[in-house]
Amino acid sequence: GENVEQHPSTLSVQEGDSAVIKCTYSDSASNYFPWYKQELGKGPQLIIDIRSNVGEKKDQRIAVTLNKTAKHFSLHITETQPEDSAVYFCAASQRGGADGLTFGKGTHLIIQP
């Protein structure tokens, strides 16, 4: 089955700086890669996703890049703000995400004021 590795487990950045979280996946058949943000006591909230036919996708301060050959994808957050502090999860899925998602273990992002 699919295995998703996520790094780092904790990331502390100064407010206004950029943050990068990286994930690798094992199954070359995976073709859908979402990123979720989870705040304490809440369920995961989708922030951005990318399909395997696209190399990069941006939404305001958030971007995701995908390297299918290397089987890794990354989340980039620019101009970080205190409200960006949360746990971020990457995930991978086959069949365009129609089946269950396989998640990484998460990155605790801390924005230092």
Name the site residues for other proteins (rule: CB under 8 A): 4, 6, 32, 34, 36, 41-46, 49, 89, 91, 93, 95-106
CB of 1 to other proteins, least distance (A): 9
**Nearest CB to other proteins, comparing residues 42 and 70:** 42
Question: For residue 13, which amino acid is it?
Answer: V
- Cα 76 from Cα 61, distance rounded (Å): 8
CB of 17 to other proteins, least distance (A): 25
**Nearest CB to other proteins, comparing residues 15 and 99:** 99
Question: For residue 49, which amino acid is it?
Answer: D
Structure tokens at 85: 């502090």
Structure tokens at 1: 């089955």
CB of 24 to other proteins, least distance (A): 14
**Nearest CB to other proteins, comparing residues 84 and 104:** 104
